[in-house]
Amino acid sequence: MSDQHTHEHEVADFDAFFAEHAEPRFGAVLRLYEREYVLPTSLPLLFTLQMERVKDSDDPDDIRRLLASLFGPAALDEWADHGMTDRQLGIVLVWAAANAREPGCLSMREAAELHDKREADQEGEQGKAPRPTPATIKAASGKQS
Name residues whose C-beta falls within 8 Å of residue 94's C-beta, 6 or more positions apart in sequence.
106, 111, 114, 115, 118
Per residue of the chain (145 residues), give pLDDT as tens. 545 555 568 888 888 888 887 766 667 889 999 999 988 877 777 777 777 777 777 677 877 878 887 888 889 889 999 999 989 999 998 999 888 878 889 999 999 999 999 999 988 877 654 455 455 455 554 554 4
pLDDT, residue 24, reads 60
CB-based contact 62:50 (threshold 8 Å): yes
Select from 116, 114, 98 the least CA-distant residue to 106. 98
Confidence (pTM): 0.66
Q: How far is 55 from 49, CA to CA, in rounded Å?
A: 11
- SS3 per-residue string spanning 65-102: HHHHHHHCCCHHHHHHHCCCCHHHHHHHHHHHHHHHHC
pLDDT, residue 23, reads 63
pLDDT, residue 57, reads 73
